[in-house]
A and B are shown apart, each in its own frame.
Chain A
Amino acid sequence: GQQLNQSPQSMFIQEGEDVSMNCTSSSIFNTWLWYKQDPGEGPVLLIALYKAGELTSNGRLTAQFGITRKDSFLNISASIPSDVGIYFCAGLGRAGANSKLTFGKGITLSVRP
């Protein structure tokens, strides 16, 4: 089946630093989504990417949809303590009725004050 690869499993950064996270796949996805999950909560959508090559920003977050449609990255600039959480990439292969999301295993981000 389709799989998304995220590594490393954990990242530790200092407050104020920038951080970049990659997500790769052996399969093509038509939509890439980045979610953040806090403990005991559901995934919250950060950025959605709908076109290959698209670069989208949302405040301190920037994400890009790779040209090959097999990868994406998420950048967080000037990190703050509330950026702590698990960051998941998710791919959507088909739109419409069969639009299931395939999730990566997530990267746990820790921010040292």
Chain B
Amino acid sequence: EPEVTQTPSHQVTQMGQEVILRCVPISNHLYFYWYRQILGQKVEFLVSFYNNEISEKSEIFDDQFSVERPDGSNFTLKIRSTKLEDSAMYFCASSRTGTYGYTFGSGTRLTVV
């Protein structure tokens, strides 16, 4: 079964540092997403990406966040200057059509100290 792969599984960073979270979506999927889950809370939408551009972003996705699809297989989330409140699980997801096959990766646990 095709999978969405995320690396690293855990990342610890100092406040103010930049982090890049990496994702390899399912190969024939066209829509890509980042979600976040603060410990014990619900999963929240951050950003959707289609046709090499952001199609929608939430209020959480401020100027400190950016996404990129640098090549045909990777999809990255960059946080420029991390804050303590950025500590969360970050999930990448991809979908074939924007509706069907909406699949999540196992997540990256980001801890900002």
Contact = CB atoms under 8 A, between A and B. Distances in A.
Nearest to A100: B45
A75 B43 CA distance: 22
Interface residues of A, number: 26
A102 B99 contact: no
A43 B41 contact: no
B38 to A, nearest CB: 12
Contacts of B48: 97-100
B95 A99 contact: yes
B36 to A, nearest CB: 11
A88 B95 contact: no
B98 A33 contact: no
A65 interface: no
A42 B99 contact: no
B106 A100 contact: no
B104 interface: yes
Interface residues of B, number: 30
A68 B54 CA distance: 31
Nearest to A43: B104
A95 B99 contact: yes
A11 to B, nearest CB: 17
B102 A103 contact: no
B81 interface: no
A96 B98 contact: yes
A50 B91 CA distance: 23
A97 B31 contact: yes
Given A31-B99, A50-B99, A88-B42, A100 B107 contact: no
Interface of B: 4, 6, 31, 33, 35, 41-45, 48, 50-51, 55-56, 58, 91, 93, 95, 97-100, 102-107, 109
Instruction: Please name the 4 residue pairs, one residue from A and one from B, whose CB atoms are nearest each other, closest first.
Output: A99-B98, A97-B55, A42-B104, A96-B98
